[in-house]
Structure 1
Amino acid sequence: MTDDTFNKSVILDLESFLIKYISADGKYKLQNGNTGLSDFDYYDRHEYEDQFGKIWASLKELGLAESTITDIENSDLYKYSPYKTLTKDQEKVLAKILSFLTFCLSENMEETVVVKGGAGTGKTILAVFLLKLLNDLKNKTYEDKEEEESDIKVNRLQSILAERQLKIGFIVPQQSLRKTLKKVFNHMQGIPESLIMTPTEAAIAAKDEPFDLLVCDEAHRLRRRAALSQYPAYDKVNQELNLSKDATELDWIIRSSKMQVLFYDSAQSVRPSDIPKDDFTHVLNSQDNRQILNLTSQLRCLGGDDYIQYVHEVLNYKGFLNGQKPQETDSFVLKEDGNMWLAPHGEFEDYTLKFYDDVDQMMDEIDKLNKKYDLCCAVAGYAWEWITRGEPRDTTKRDINIGKGYLWNRTYTDWINSDRLPYEIGCIHTVQGYDLNYVGVIFGPEIYYDKKAKRIEVDKNKYKDNLGKAVGNDYEALRSYILNIYATLLTRGIHGALVYVCDPDLREYLRPYFKS
């Protein structure tokens, strides 16, 4: 490709563009490494990016590409591609991980690294990028580019990996996301999908020889011995690892590997089987060597960090609204009664936030958005039984008896990419870890507003996830899980969130906080 107007910055940006989109197009398996993809910024970049679109159209005409740019950007192969451009925030964290890994391997030390980041900060992207980079270094397919100015230094690490056959594994606790990432890995040159495993599979694989490194995405979904569907299988792993009966899957990972990198967000713990934050911290504190790194830049939601914080404040996630002193923020105002209250605004630049009094209207709008942009769907709290499970596609039964009546997701794994019906609704377990263009969130009857207590409450009897409500008499724990679920659902959308609330009092309480 030649163009008299292209300078060095444009050429490097075009190269980065082609690597990202050709890898996600799926027609070819790229042999390129994934380093050297920088976040470019130069004069008239927007004008040059328009030229990139024309170049892609020419590649399609030549039969060298199959999908449109829009289709690619909506695909999992693009969203989770190891060829994605890292932000400066991600690149700094990656550089520190590689530095720790190099030092530990050189000195024969063991270390646990925890990468903390909220929803949409790119934890999964960074985890996949790390696995691809290590695989390239291990297989001697990495090529350093002299012209790249990067904090990522890998010469010493590459020598170590070239000399030693390290045993590396990638743990993904969630079944749906695990299936998606295996599909992504299957389209990559030289990196096997067998690298991805469950905590149980990793523990079994490490029985004779421990892993040198285990990377765990969504570590907040690692389980403890509570609210499980299969206790015997869980107990068997603890027994084989010589651990106590109440050991957690985090204990398994530490026992099964010399070094661990855990991507973690305590605010996305949504079931009693998830390891509580305090227990997670306790296990980490028992480690002699541990490092805590932070991802802070918001990548998914165009509402940015302000919207993420606003959602948690509105849902009383940290107890701000019950007469308790909030953290320092401009969002709160002092009322005449002396309490601090959240000031509604509900408008965010480049982000759509809508509130509906009619669930059918919201569902119709989601359907229209899905036809226009793809990857738009409705999700709800687990407040209805799944009576249509196993029913044929054309069943007349309905699970969710509001409005015209709706179905729960007809498949549990990779529902986002399935042939969804317009009257089909997902739950937290089908969308956690995924990006949607627009999300419709239905607050079910299991969550309501208590006018007297001036607090959002939950009704255990109306919460239908049996594993989710197995917290005994700990009401506050159940409330925390359910509020976490809705906070997570409200932050799935890249471009916007549409909201419908079943409980009348909660509807009126939330109405000022969302633009009608």
Structure 2
Amino acid sequence: VFTVDDVEKLCSFLLERIERGFGNEVMARVEQGKYRPSKKLMDHVSRVIKGKSEYVLLDEQLVVYDTVLQAAKKGFHDKQQTVVIIKGGPGTGKSVIAINLMADLLQQGYNAHYATGSKAFTETLRKIIGSRGSVQFKYFNSYTGAQKREIDVLICDEAHRIRETSNNRFTAKAKQSNLPQVQELLDVSKVAVFFIDDNQIVRPNEIGSVAYLQRYAKENHCRVFEFELEAQFRCAGSDAFVNWVSNTLGIKRTANVLLDRDEEFDFKIFDDVNEMEQAIRKKAEEGFTARMTAGFCWSWSDPDENGNLADDVVIGDFKRPWDAKPDARKLAPGIPKASLWAHDPNGINQIGCIYTAQGFEFDYVGVIFGNDLMYNFTTQQWEGRPENSADKMVKRSKEDFVDLVKNVYRVLLTRGMKGCYVYFIDKETEKFVRSRIENS
């Protein structure tokens, strides 16, 4: 027994017994060892996910699900890596499959990770899962310097948000990578699963696309499986609204030129933004999930010294704040962090931008359609107006500006499962959209 006064005796005692170990060898084994979560931890995460799951997988989704599980089984002894690419538009259940896969892979003992390019989406998942399981939920840029094939299955949700490199302005020089981000994702996994929608790229530095993934999978001699999801979970279970939005915005030609008023999906255009907000708040009071969103046409201010948000979004007498900035350190009580805006009930008091709304769904969504994208009846074309945009990065991308902003509004308009309410800043644009609605 040693007391507080016997420090030197304790040191001598320990040195006599452990000084001639294989310390360097042991340390090397620790540093190079592969992390695998405990069975208890994996069971915990699986139970939480399964407890939150509200959907039963459809036939087309089960095919994807089974393919990934079979690939995981082969991954233990198969030298050839497997890549699974799942394409699907808004509301086709990409994240539903991804979450269910994550639960079952962990339950079966696989070291599975769930990665996204969205801080809001990843932090919301971590909050739901709890701190015990958050280590399994990461970002695309979390794998710089990781060991090859360290993870059995890497699920990459919203893979259209993959960037050219994992380096950013906060990356220390010693930790910077010279590899493309997608290569890091492939290197770290035995099976890589990518859920993607090419038409949800909303920033110029997001380069994930089906063709991009195919190219790297081929260069790495991977076995590739591709699937396309079509069945709708969102928009009242009908793909008609999503297809109509894509067609109306000139993103993709579909058979849905006119929106059928008889659809169960509740789509309304409001003449007054205050009335639209009241309608959204009423839905929330009735127990539905509901949020207000807008195109990025207003500046995004920092909170004041007390953590209060400025009323940046101003339309006549309508004045509301954006959601909090991601780097906001101090926020007043009742204001959620940006990453939790979609999950926190108090999020209804702020306007969500594309970067906090993407990846989430609500029962009802209100969209303020700004004047950064306007329809010109003379040219019969959509025209981008960078001078009306407050998104500095997108504004600099002159060649891609129109396509990026179209994608922004496609994403915002398709966040609702039961309904979408819209207010247009530009009345000519509103007139055009109304012309695409039957009996409008």
- 2:354 counterpart residue number: 428
- Code of the residue aligned with 2:151 in structure 1: it is F
Change (3 A) 1:82 1:369: closer
The match for 1:508 is 431
Q: What SS does the corresponding residue of 1:293 show, helix, strand or coil?
A: strand
In the TM superposition, what is the alpha-carbon distance from 1:417 to its structure 2 partner?
2.5
Matches within 5 A, 1:114-513: 114-138=85-109, 167-186=111-130, 192-204=133-145, 206-207=146-147, 210-225=150-165, 230-231=168-169, 233=171, 239=177, 242-243=178-179, 247=180, 249-277=181-209, 278-288=211-221, 289-302=223-236, 304-318=238-252, 326=253, 329=255, 331=256, 342=257, 344-387=258-301, 389-390=303-304, 392=306, 397-403=310-316, 404-410=318-324, 411-420=337-346, 424-471=350-397, 473-474=398-399, 477-513=400-436
In the alignment, the residues of structure 1 paired with residue 307 and residue 92 of structure 2 have an alpha-carbon distance, to the nearest angstrom, of 36
1:471-499 per-residue CA deviation (whole Å, 9 max, x = no partner) reads 2x42xx11111111111111111110001
Identity %: 26
State the shift of 1:387 in Å: 2.3
Q: 1:390 to 1:102 in 2, by over 3 A?
A: farther
Aligned partner letter, 2:375: Y
- Report Cα offsets for 1:289-322 as digits up to 9, x if no partner: 221122221112205111111110011113xxxx
The alpha-carbon distance between structure 1 residues 180 and 348, as it changes in their structure 2 partners (threshold 3 A), is farther
**Residue identity in the other structure for 1:426:** G
Deviation at 1:348, TM superposition (A): 4.6
Distance in 2 of aligned mates of 1:366 and 1:375: 9
Could you tell me whether the CA contact under 8 Å between 1:80 and 1:125 is conserved in 2? Answer: no
Deviation sequence 1:173-207 (CA, Å, 0-9, x none): 211110111123239xxx82211112232334x24
| One-letter amino acid of the counterpart of residue 282, structure 1 | R
Distance in 2 between the 1:257 and 1:355 partners? 46
Pick the aligned partner of 1:95 from 63, 66, 70.
Answer: 66
8 A contact 1:211–1:257 mirrored in 2: yes
Counterparts of 2:371 and 2:349, CA distance in 1:
19
User: Which stretches in structure 2 are left out of the alignment for 5+ residues?
Assistant: 1-41, 325-336
> Alpha-carbon deviations, 1:237-256, whole Å to 9, x = none?
553xx53xxx2x21220122
Letter in 1 for 2:130: N
Name the CA distance, whole Å, in 2 between partners of 1:105 and 1:117.
29
Distance 2:114 2:362 in 1: 24
Distance 2:45 2:299 in 1: 48
Residues 299 and 390, structure 2, Cα contact 8 Å, conserved in 1: yes
* Larger CA deviation: 354-363 vs 83-92: 83-92
| Cα displacement string for residues 88-125 of structure 1 (whole angstroms, at most 9, x for unaligned residues) | 22222111112223234343321111122211111112
| CA deviation profile, 1:452-479 (whole Å, cap 9, x unmatched) | 22111111122112233342x42xx111
Give, in angstroms, the shift of residue 391 of structure 1.
6.2
1:496 aligned counterpart, secondary structure: strand
**1:272/1:469 contact within 8 Å kept:** no
Distance across 2 between alignment mates of 1:196 and 1:384? 32
State the AA in 2 paired with 1:501: F
Distance in 1, matches of 2:49 and 2:393, equals: 33
Deviations 1:399-429 (A, max 9, x none): 0120322211133111023353765211111
**Partner amino acid, structure 1, of 2:190:** K
The count of corresponding residues between Structure 1 and Structure 2 is 383
* Aligned residues of 2:323 and 2:338 also touching (Cα < 8 A): yes
Pairwise CA distance, 1:129: 1.3
| Partner SS for 1:500 | strand
CA distance in 1, matches of 2:374, 2:240: 25
Deviation (angstroms), 1:81:
2.8
1:130 Cα deviation after fit:
1.2
Q: TM-score, normalised by structure 1?
A: 0.68
Contact 1:173 1:198 in 2 (8 A): yes
RMSD value, Cα: 3.0
Partner of 1:116, secondary structure, is strand
Counterpart residue type for residue 193 of structure 2: V
Q: Please report the TM-score for the alignment, with normalisation by the length of structure 2.
A: 0.78
Question: Which residue identity lines up with residue 179 of structure 1 in the other structure?
Answer: E
Q: 1:364 to 1:124 in 2, by over 3 A?
A: same
- Whether the 8 Å contact between 2:292 and 2:348 is mirrored in structure 1 is no
1:467 counterpart SS class: helix
**CA 1:279/1:346 → structure 2, altered by over 3 Å: closer, same or farther?**
same
Distance 1:184 1:275 in 2: 29
- Letter of the aligned partner of 2:312 in structure 1? D
How many angstroms apart in 1 are the aligned matches of 2:50 and 2:412? Answer: 18
Matched-pair contact (CA < 8 Å) for 2:235–2:418 = yes
Q: Conserved in 2, the CA contact under 8 Å of 1:117 and 1:294?
A: yes
Residues 368 and 95 of structure 1: CA distance in aligned 2, closer, same or farther (over 3 Å): same
Equivalent AA in structure 2 for residue 364 of structure 1: Q
Cα distance, 1:85–1:400 mapped onto 2, change above 3 Å: same
- The 3-state SS of whatever aligns with 2:368 is strand
Given that 1:202 and 1:256 are in contact with CA atoms closer than 8 Å, whether structure 2 keeps it comes out as yes
Select between 355-364 and 105-114 the one with higher mean Cα deviation: 105-114
- Give the gaps of 5 or more residues in structure 1: 1-28, 35-76, 139-165, 319-325, 332-341
